[in-house]
Amino acid sequence: MTTTSPPPRQVILGVARSDAHAVANHLIAMRLRESGFTVTNLGVCTPLEEFAEAHTAHPDAEAVIIGSLNGHAYEDLRDLPALRSAGLLQVPVIVGGNLSVGSKKSDRDHERLYELGVDYILGDAEQLPLLLDLLRAEARPPLSRV
């Protein structure tokens, strides 16, 4: 019996619209590539519509991963409900980074993002491959939030 290698696993990666931090973005791209993923990296200052366009172009992508280090995640992701109701970005959206301005973070910052439709908020980028494995195993709505 012959086996064929599975098709490469794809993800879409980028940094939120108002954010120009490139270093973490490239570190995460490297980490995912080392774990065998094909990464479409949209880079810094990427509006949500461009994430949606990339997902339309790569419908097999397992997730859209958005970094935000400048504290403006909520503002930058505001259009997520509108895009989703237009049938776009029907894929898990994972957000990570420094998600609000100020040194004190509250649960409310995370809740606001979940209310927009963000599926996962991840504190440790090293856990991305694990989260993506879990997502694939559970090709249905999330069991729990990481």
Partner 1 sequence: MSEIPGLRIERRVAAALPPWPDIVAWLRRTDKPTVAAVLAAADRRGVPVVQPRCGVGDHERMRELLQAIEAEGRPSVLTLTIDSYTRLKHFRSAAEALRRDPAGLNGYPLVAHGWRRGRDLDASVRAPLQVRHGSPDGRELFAVTLAAGITSFEGGGLSYNLPYSKNVPLAVSLEAWRQIDAVCGILADEGVPIDREMFGSLTGVLVPPAISLAVCLLEACSAAAEGVRCVSIAYPQGGEVHQDVAALRAIRSLAAKYLPERVAVYPVLHTFMGVFPRTTATADALIHYAGLTARLGGAVKVINKTNQEAYGIPDAATNALGVRTTAMAFTPFLDFVTVDEVRVEEERYWIEREVAELVDPVLDQADGQRISAAVEKAFADGRLDIPFSASVHARAEVMPRRDAGGGVRYQNYGRLPFSRATRRRNEQCLRGAPGGDRLIEAVTADINYFLAFDRHQDGDDHANS
Nearer to partner 1 by Cβ, of 58 and 112: the residue is 58
Among residues 47 and 117, whose Cβ is nearest to partner 1?
A: 47
Strands 64-68 and 37-41, by their bridges, are unpaired
Residues that bind partner 1 (CB under 8 A): 20, 22-24, 26-31, 33-34, 41-45, 125-126
Q: Which is nearer to partner 1, 41 or 70 (CB)?
A: 41
Identify which of residues 21 and 112 has a Cβ nearer to partner 1 in the complex: 21
Distance CA 104, CA 31 (A): 28
Cβ-based neighbour number of residue 109 at 10 Å? 17
Nearest approach, Cβ of residue 87 and partner 1 (Å): 27
Least CB distance from residue 16 to partner 1, whole Å? 13
Distances (CA, A) of 120 to 27, 128, 146: 19, 11, 6
Residue 107 near residue 100 (C-beta atoms within 8 A): no
Closest distance to partner 1 from the beta carbon of 126 (Å): 6
CB of 27 to partner 1, least distance (A): 5
**Taking a C-beta distance cutoff of 8 angstroms, is the pair 112, 84 a contact?**
no
